[in-house]
Amino acid sequence: MTDALFLSSADVDDLAVPADYVAAVRDAYRQIGEGAPAEPRTKLLNRDPPGMFTNYAAVLPETGAMGGYAYSAGFGAEDAWFMTPLFDADSGEPLALLDGASMNPFKTGAAGAVAVDALARDDATELAVIGSGAQARGQLATTATVREFESVRVFSPTAENREAFAASFDGRLAADVSAVASATDALDDADVVITATTASDPVIADADVGPGTHVTAMGQYDPTKNELPPELVARATYVPDLRARATQDAGSFIAAVDAGLVDEETGITADLGEVVAGDHPGRTGDDEVTVFDSGGTGIETVAAAHMLYERAADAGRGKTIDFAPASEALTGE
């Protein structure tokens, strides 16, 4: 038998601040850029009841951990559950099973923040956020740790939601955070744009994205999810979290390919690991438009889960659970 920890969301939700997630995720993408393995999601769809079961994985040798996400969404309960199995990358033994719900917005946001730090102009001070849900909150909380923004403008279709979002951050950040009436208003003079929606059609206009802007789009997790206009993808330095995921389920990239505006292979400038590891410069000029396409990977998941696991273990949190190795379980010895 091998001991592992079961960690609930309550066990881990106060163990890290946004900057901690960013540091862990940045190092994880460096490892991927230097050759560590990661695979895009596998998604299984069920018709009746309608639902989705998804998983993805990564190995982070220097961190000493591997694992990923397994989650269900929809089905009869019409809800979602996030489970994160974590293994030791040296021995292969299980380390922990985490309820991944509370870390989800922050580990995903951290990937976006790492991309902003790698791709946005150093002098970026104006931020636009399209979306006002939990993922948008995670994106803003983490991205605010890598640039000193002076102004944040948020738009989402429901006025009370965007106003509540702005109110929840105003005072928490050094920046002035305000709700605005349209995406065009949010993008006016923006240096960095974050889209965090579930949209099937573009939520920003290509004409509203000025020279030198960086765009992080995190709602690109299915071929039907398409937050960005294809013209924007075509003219931008396009950087996905994983190359293989871009051609599999990055809706905006696939739409640009289908429109004949980009080539499936040459349209991808680099993936984020290559930029963070220094194998590709990413941005090469102040007028260049850059796009980070974040659909979710095991990279940020394993990095965040291992960080939380170590801190929970040090704090004596969680419940010990027993796992039988295959040699014992299959032979009874």
Ordered structural domains, the chain, with CATH: 2-104+298-331 (3.30.1780.10), 118-293 (3.40.50.720)
Task: Quickly state the pLDDT bin for 2 (edges 50, 70, 90).
Answer: confident
The whole-number pLDDT of residue 79 equals 84
- What percentage of the chain has pLDDT greater than the value 70? 99
The whole-number pLDDT of residue 332 equals 60
Q: Average of pLDDT values for 237-263?
A: 95
Instruction: Spell 26-49 as b/e; 16+ CB within 10 A means b.
Output: bbbbbbbbeebebbbbeeeeeeee
The whole-number pLDDT of residue 327 equals 82
Question: In this structure, what token pair is assigned to residue 66?
Answer: 């591997």
Task: Quickly state the pLDDT bin for 107 (edges 50, 70, 90).
Answer: very high
The whole-number pLDDT of residue 333 equals 57
- Residue 219 reports pLDDT greater than 90: no
The whole-number pLDDT of residue 225 equals 87
Task: Quickly state the pLDDT bin for 5 (edges 50, 70, 90).
Answer: very high
The whole-number pLDDT of residue 140 equals 97
- Residue 80 reports pLDDT greater than 90: no
Nearest to 246 by CA among 33, 41, 109: 41
Average model confidence (pLDDT) for the chain?
Answer: 95
- The answer for residues whose C-beta is within 8 angstroms of residue 90's C-beta and 6 or more apart is 64
pTM equals 0.95
Task: Quickly state the pLDDT bin for 78 (edges 50, 70, 90).
Answer: confident
